[in-house]
A = this chain, B = another copy of it.
Amino acid sequence: MNEALRTQLVDGIRTRDFAHVRDVLDDLPASGIAEVLGDFGPLDQAVLFRVLPHKLAGDTFAYLPRGQQQLLIKALGQADLSAVLSAMPDDDRTKLLEELPGNVTRELLEQLSPAERIAALKSLGYPEKSVGRLMTPHYIAVTPDRTVQQVLDTIRVRGLDSETVNVIYVVDEHGKLVDDLRIRRFLVSPPERTVQALMDGSFSALKTTDPAINAVALMRAVDLVALPVVDGDGSLVGIVTADDVLDVAEQAATKQIQEVGGSESLDAPYLDISLLKMLRKRGGWLVILFLSEMLTATAMGFYEKQIERAVVLSLFVPLIISSGGNSGSQAATLIIRALALGEVKLRDWWRVMRREFTTGLGLGILLGVIGFLRITIWSLFSDIYGPYWYLIALTIGFALVGIVLWGSLAGSILPLILKRLGLDPATSSAPFVATLVDVTGLIIYFTVATFILRGTLL
């Protein structure tokens, strides 16, 4: 091997200048790189290999002798590699750590124990909370040229080792997933028929880089206990089983519930999390909410004169703003969950608006009438609201209609807007809705009051 080249690579590894290493290797053919790798120890080999572009890495791997493939695989799965690579700046690492080629991933996953696999999937560069981190290699795959009898024989031998035999995966000669077939299809077919003849070409697969949460909706839709996972080229590299998806679903639901409740998600059991962490997770949103709620004091300041003239108006402020807040958080929560479940899409925004207009108006009238009656009935027995009680009752009634309607509209449209902006609706909706509805609620209330009470109390 060219000594200058070797020096360059050794220097590149030592100084962690992986971009340079990549440039150097990129100029060589796959067979040349395979040869170069032979001169390095397993860890350095793994580093060099990991830095290669996706396609080139796959070809290089194929050129390696079998024994060296095994050694490389072992090195790739080790925590050392993860440590070396995580010393890189984040953005560079993301650029360099593409997925491994399908053939390498498969080999690697096959050879590891479940515990090693978790560490390895991390070092393979699959993003946190991605499907790639969840998958297992214990599945049965066959090629289309097989007969039903041959497949059943394979199942008898390999099925015991597989996470599931309910679904058989069909791959082409390059390992690309082309179909998934329920085991029942094989049982009702004559033994000499080929897999090709059974195929319907319809299957649902996850990508390694998909967010893990995607597996939940897909698994519920297809009603299987396992889903296939393919890499960027469509090669089958693993399956995700339902028990793991269940964990993902529960964690995601916990995060959503906690965020809807106005806290950052704890990411740990309530009794286990340290007090400092708890303070930080809860304090963050509480302070943001507090700062934005300060606008209510500013808004109230504008109406100080009115309150001085008619103190009775201030008595209903908590009732008014909590009604707006409640209708807003109701609407926001329903939309947040519907978005998470995929029941509502962004393009449905107009249907959502129409629904919330009707619902909000109905709910507003309901509360408005109750509020009106409450003050009217109270005034029959007491003169706490003075001689103009009926005007106050009207003010409360009309303000409630407006505020509940506005709360429902604002609560439902905000999650959609946040989602459109690429933000997580669950995280950010609660504070925005609360502030918006509280501040605007006060403005609606005092505007209605000014209009109705002008010339009497105001």
Question: Which A residues lie at the B interface, using CB under 8 A?
Answer: 152, 155-156, 159-161, 163-166, 183, 186-187, 216, 219-220, 223-225, 241-243, 245-247, 249-250, 253-254, 256-258, 260-263, 266, 269-272, 275, 278-279, 282-283, 285-287, 289-291, 293-294, 296-297, 300-301, 304, 307-308, 311-312, 314-319, 321-323, 325-327, 329-330, 332-338, 341, 343-344, 348, 351-352, 355, 358-359, 362-363, 366-367, 370-371, 374, 384, 404, 434, 438, 442
Distance to closest chain B CB from A203 (angstroms): 16
Which listed residue, B216, B225, B275, touches A164 by the CB 8 Å rule? B225
Interface contact B311-A307, CB-CB below 8 Å: yes
State the CA gap A84–B368 with chains docked (Å): 46
Distance to closest chain B CB from A240 (angstroms): 11
Q: A297-B316, A300-B317 are known; give 11 further A-B pairs, CB within 8 A.
A: A152-B160, A216-B250, A225-B243, A253-B253, A257-B260, A257-B336, A275-B362, A286-B404, A294-B374, A308-B311, A317-B317
Q: Known contacts A166-B164, A246-B246: does B367 contact A287 (CB below 8 Å)? A: yes
State the CA gap A336–B220 with chains docked (Å): 25
Q: Known contacts A216-B246, A220-B250, A314-B307: does B296 contact A330 (CB below 8 Å)? A: no
Distance to closest chain B CB from A299 (angstroms): 8
Q: Known contacts A166-B164, A220-B250: does B370 contact A289 (CB below 8 Å)? A: no
Distance to closest chain B CB from A351 (angstroms): 6
Distance to closest chain B CB from A239 (angstroms): 11
Contacts of A286 in B (CB 8 A): 323, 326-327, 330, 363, 366-367, 404
Which listed residue, B183, B278, B335, B374, touches A270 by the CB 8 Å rule? B335
Q: Known contacts A257-B260, A269-B338: does B282 contact A301 (CB below 8 Å)? A: no
Closest-by-CB residue of B relative to A247 is: B220
State the CA gap A163–B297 with chains docked (Å): 62
State the CA gap A216–B260 with chains docked (Å): 22
State the CA gap A341–B318 with chains docked (Å): 34
Contacts of A362 in B (CB 8 A): 275, 279, 283
State the CA gap A450–B406 with chains docked (Å): 36
State the CA gap A94–B164 with chains docked (Å): 39
State the CA gap A288–B434 with chains docked (Å): 20
Interface contact A311-B322, CB-CB below 8 Å: no
Which listed residue, B166, B186, B296, touches A319 by the CB 8 Å rule? B296
State the CA gap A344–B266 with chains docked (Å): 14
Give me the 10 closest cross-chain CB pairs, A-B, nearest first: A261-B333, A242-B242, A253-B253, A296-B318, A270-B338, A269-B343, A314-B314, A300-B315, A263-B330, A257-B337
Interface contact B358-A275, CB-CB below 8 Å: yes
Closest-by-CB residue of B relative to A289 is: B326
